Amino acid sequence: MVLEDMIQGWLQELAMQKRYSHHTVTSYRGDLLSFQKFLEEHLGEAISTETFGNLRISDFRAWFSSRISNGLAARSNVRALSSIKSFFRYLARRNLVDLKVIYSVRRPKLARLLPKPVEEKTLLNFLNQDSFFDSDREWVTQRDRALYSLLYCTGLRINEALSIKTREIAPEMKIRTKGQKERIIILLPLVLDRIERYVDSCPHNLREGFLFVGVRGKRLHASSVDNRLQKLRLIYNLPDHASAHSFRHSFATHLLQNGADLRSVQELLGHESLSSTQIYTDIDDGSLLKTYEKAHPLER
């Protein structure tokens, strides 16, 4: 089997069958090519499919050591190992490698990073501004307010929000999430009203296309949203971590602080595992303690 054909088949499977995003497929490809280049230098030979089947645990240790000495962080190394394991599984299904060696490679330990929400009062005050930039046209202000309110109302990731078509907007709607799975999100009347105001004021025809567009009528990009928020942080004294994704963190944290149960928040965020949602319980133990004291029969 030609290695290049195997790699192309694997990448096609990631994109077409597993429906990984273009960004993820590109990252996996880069990780594998980097690993291949390392092996060529490490083993002093051209790499073939058979090479992967003959690798030892010491080869993987040398790879990790090389990455660490080049300053690559643990999170990057975890992602790279995940990429290589994915390729190995693809080869194993074709009886070209044994998975025992790669599954004996220890995953690098990651420091647990707590999400950083924006304080509730600060965020509500920001969402209710008459305008964000004085130089903006009215419809751009309406667009930004509608987008920020949608993110905070639903906990959507920014790319999920920017993928919504105008015709899909409804009080309850299905969206495709990370990994191309579906989940239900609920739009509050206030958010629906702000979206309607934006659509009515926008000079571009939004009815058959994406809901959120830039000044030229093309689909709005996440980088543009974060660039604007970076400038708005200074104007409105928002914390340094305020970004499009911090609306999602704020959504989950504020729900829990106000008494929502963990499994409901898990469903709303679209997390497969409850452990992914539990990280939000570590942010504000004080608020959770108040909820516990209020709810427990012994305290009542």
- Same domain flag for 84 and 163: no
Q: Is residue 114 part of a domain?
A: no
Across 242-269, average pLDDT: 86
pLDDT at 300: 46
Q: Is residue 137 part of a domain?
A: yes
Would you call 20 a catalytic residue per the annotation?
A: no
Would you call 280 a catalytic residue per the annotation?
A: yes
**Average per-residue pLDDT for the chain:** 86
- Same domain flag for 209 and 134: yes
d(CA 60, CA 11): 22
Task: Encode the chain in three state secondary structure.
Answer: CCHHHHHHHHHHHHHHHCCCCHHHHHHHHHHHHHHHHHHHHHHCCCCCHHHHHCCCHHHHHHHHHHHHHCCCCHHHHHHHHHHHHHHHHHHHCCCCCCCCCHHHCCCCCCCCCCCCCCCHHHHHHHHCCCCCCCCCCHHHHHHHHHHHHHHHHHCCCHHHHHCCEHHHCCCEEEEECCCCCEEEEECCHHHHHHHHHHHHHCCCCCCCCECCECCCCCECCHHHHHHHHHHHHHHCCCCCCCCHHHHHHHHHHHHHHCCCCHHHHHHHHCCCCHHHHHHHHHCCHHHHHHHHHHHCCCCC
- Same domain flag for 266 and 166: yes
Would you call 42 a catalytic residue per the annotation?
A: no
Q: How many domains does the chain have?
A: 2
- Same domain flag for 94 and 136: no
Across 72-100, average pLDDT: 89
Q: How, if at all, do strands 182-186 and 172-176 pair?
A: antiparallel
pLDDT at 262: 80
- Same domain flag for 150 and 177: yes
Q: Is residue 112 part of a domain?
A: no
The answer to whether 247 and 152 have CB atoms below 8 angstroms apart is yes
143, 194, 248, 254: the active-site residue: 248
- Same domain flag for 95 and 124: no
Query: Quick check: 117 pLDDT over 90?
Result: no
- Same domain flag for 84 and 149: no
- Same domain flag for 146 and 195: yes
Instruction: Residue 140: give the domain boundaries.
Output: 120-295
- 66-81 pLDDT, tens digit per residue, is 988 888 888 888 889 9
d(CA 185, CA 268): 7
Q: Is residue 35 part of a domain?
A: yes
Would you call 271 a catalytic residue per the annotation?
A: yes
Share of the chain above pLDDT 70, in %: 89
- Same domain flag for 286 and 261: yes
Q: Is residue 300 part of a domain?
A: no
- 126-153 pLDDT, tens digit per residue, is 999 999 999 999 999 999 999 999 999 9
pLDDT at 17: 86
Q: Is residue 194 part of a domain?
A: yes
**Ranked by mean pLDDT, which of 7-11, 74-78, 256-260 comes out on top?**
7-11
Q: How confident is the model at residue 10 (pLDDT cuts 50, 70, 90)?
A: very high
Q: What are phi and psi of 11, to 5 degrees?
A: -65, -40
- ∠ CA(201), CA(204), CA(208), 5° rounding? 110
Would you call 103 a catalytic residue per the annotation?
A: no
pLDDT at 148: 96
116, 178, 204, 221: the active-site residue: 178
Last residue of a domain, one of 104, 138, 156: 104
157, 194, 249, 254: the active-site residue: 157
Q: What is the CATH number of the domain that holds 59?
A: 1.10.150.130
- Same domain flag for 49 and 131: no
Q: Of 98-107, 124-133, 241-250, give the lowest mean pLDDT range.
A: 98-107
Q: Is residue 154 part of a domain?
A: yes
Last residue of a domain, one of 53, 70, 104: 104
Q: Is residue 258 part of a domain?
A: yes
- Same domain flag for 127 and 49: no
- Same domain flag for 127 and 71: no
